[in-house]
Amino acid sequence: MPMYQPSSRREVDSQVLDLETAVKDGVLGGGGGGGGGCGVIATGFGSEKLDLKLMIEELEPMDVPMVFICPISLEPMHDPVTLCTGQTYERSNILKWFSLGHCTCPTTMQELWDDSMTPNKTLQQLIHSWFSQKYLAMKKRSEDVQGRVKEILENLKKIKGQARVQALKELRQVVQVHGTAKKTVVENGGIGLISSLLGPFTTHAVGCEVIGVLVNLNLDLNSMSDLLQPAKISLMVDILNEGSIETKINCTRLIGMLIEGTDFASQNVASLSLLVGLLRLVKDKKHPNGVVAGLNLLKTICSHEPVRNSFVNVGAVPQLVELIPGLNNECLELVLHILELLSSTPEGRLALKDCPSTIPNVVKLLMKASENCTQLALSILWSICKFAPEECASLAVDAGLAAKLLLVIQSGCNPVLKQRSAELLKLCSLNYTTTIFISKCKLTRTIQ
Task: Give 73-130 pLDDT, tens digit per residue.
Answer: 998 999 999 999 999 999 999 999 999 989 999 999 999 888 889 999 999 989 888 8
DSSP code for 64: E
* Upper half-sphere CA count for residue 164 (Cβ side, 13 Å): 18
Report residue 143's pLDDT band, with 50, 70 and 90 as the boundaries.
Answer: confident
Tell me which residue range forms the domain holding 208: 159-269
Question: Does 180 share its domain with 257?
Answer: yes
Question: Does 76 share its domain with 130?
Answer: yes
Question: What confidence score (pLDDT) does residue 262 get?
Answer: 59
Question: Does 84 share its domain with 176?
Answer: no
Q: Is residue 359 part of a domain?
A: no
Residues 206-258: tens digit of each pLDDT: 999 999 999 999 998 889 988 988 889 889 999 999 989 999 999 999 999 98
Question: What confidence score (pLDDT) does residue 434 get?
Answer: 67
Mean pLDDT, residues 288-317: 91
Of 49 and 305, the structure prediction assigns the larger pLDDT to 305
Question: What confidence score (pLDDT) does residue 440 get?
Answer: 60
Question: What confidence score (pLDDT) does residue 265 get?
Answer: 54
Question: What confidence score (pLDDT) does residue 406 get?
Answer: 80
From the number of C-beta atoms within 10 Å of its C-beta (0-12, 13-18, 19+), residue 254 rates as: buried
Of 271 and 268, the structure prediction assigns the larger pLDDT to 271
Mean pLDDT, residues 352-379: 89
Question: Does 112 share its domain with 181?
Answer: no
Q: Say how far apart CA 212 and CA 226 lie, in whole Å.
A: 17
Q: Say how far apart CA 90 and CA 117 lie, in whole Å.
A: 11
Q: Is residue 149 part of a domain?
A: no
Question: What confidence score (pLDDT) does residue 52 get?
Answer: 78
Mean pLDDT, residues 402-428: 81
Question: Does 252 share its domain with 182?
Answer: yes
Report residue 408's pLDDT band, with 50, 70 and 90 as the boundaries.
Answer: confident
**Positive or negative: CA dihedral 380, 381, 386, 389:** positive
Question: Does 129 share its domain with 172?
Answer: no
DSSP code for 257: H
Question: What confidence score (pLDDT) does residue 41 get?
Answer: 37
Judged by phi (left if over 0) then psi (alpha if -120 to 50, else beta), residue 104 lies in: beta
Q: Is residue 441 part of a domain?
A: no
Question: Does 168 share its domain with 222?
Answer: yes
Q: Which of 269, 295, 329 is the last residue of a domain?
A: 269
Short-list 318, 307, 308, CA closest to 352: 318
> Please, are residues 64 and 72 in contact by the beta-carbon 8 Å criterion?
no
Question: What confidence score (pLDDT) does residue 225 get?
Answer: 87
Q: Is residue 114 part of a domain?
A: yes
In one letter, which amino acid is 376?
L
Mean pLDDT, residues 383-399: 85
Short-list 418, 369, 378, 419, CA closest to 401: 378
Q: Say how far apart CA 292 and CA 317 lie, in whole Å.
A: 17
pTM: 0.68
Q: Which of 269, 303, 326 is the last residue of a domain?
A: 269
Question: Does 64 share its domain with 133?
Answer: yes
Q: Is residue 199 part of a domain?
A: yes
Question: Does 77 share its domain with 164?
Answer: no
Of 379 and 265, the structure prediction assigns the larger pLDDT to 379
Whether the predicted pLDDT of 191 surpasses 90 = yes
Q: Specify which residues 64 forms β-bridges with.
A: 6
Q: Is residue 209 part of a domain?
A: yes
Question: Does 121 share its domain with 214?
Answer: no
Report residue 15's pLDDT band, with 50, 70 and 90 as the boundaries.
Answer: very low
Of 203 and 402, the structure prediction assigns the larger pLDDT to 203
Mean of per-residue pLDDT scores for the chain: 81
Report residue 17's pLDDT band, with 50, 70 and 90 as the boundaries.
Answer: very low
**By percentage, how much of the chain surpasses pLDDT 90?**
39
Q: What length is written for the chain?
A: 448
Question: What confidence score (pLDDT) does residue 435 get?
Answer: 65
Q: Say how far apart CA 375 and CA 416 lie, in whole Å.
A: 9
Q: Which of 269, 298, 327 is the last residue of a domain?
A: 269
DSSP code for 159: -
Give the long-range contacts of residues 137-141, CB within 8 A, separation 24 or more.
137/33, 138/58, 138/59, 138/60
Whether the predicted pLDDT of 6 surpasses 50 = no
Q: Which residues of 329-354 are buried (b: 16+ CB within 10 A; e: fewer)?
A: eebbbbbbbbbbbbbebeebbbbbbe
Question: Does 113 share its domain with 173?
Answer: no
Question: What confidence score (pLDDT) does residue 372 get?
Answer: 87
Whether the predicted pLDDT of 39 surpasses 90 = no
CATH code assigned at 101: 3.30.40.10
Whether the predicted pLDDT of 32 surpasses 70 = no
Cβ neighbors of 177 (< 8 A, separation 6 or more) are none
* Upper half-sphere CA count for residue 66 (Cβ side, 13 Å): 11
Mean pLDDT, residues 258-262: 75
Whether the predicted pLDDT of 22 surpasses 60 = no
Structural domain count of the chain: 2
Q: Say how far apart CA 165 and CA 247 lie, in whole Å.
A: 14
Question: What confidence score (pLDDT) does residue 264 get?
Answer: 56
Report residue 390's pLDDT band, with 50, 70 and 90 as the boundaries.
Answer: confident
Short-list 381, 404, 405, CA closest to 393: 381
Alpha helices per DSSP H over 113-160: 121-156
Question: Does 251 share its domain with 167?
Answer: yes
Q: Is residue 344 part of a domain?
A: no
Question: What confidence score (pLDDT) does residue 413 get?
Answer: 73
Question: What confidence score (pLDDT) does residue 267 get?
Answer: 55
Mean pLDDT, residues 19-35: 43
| Dihedral pair phi/psi, residue 36, rounded to 5° | -125, 180
Question: What confidence score (pLDDT) does residue 263 get?
Answer: 58
CATH code assigned at 198: 1.20.930
Q: Is residue 345 part of a domain?
A: no
Short-list 175, 204, 165, 210, CA closest to 192: 210
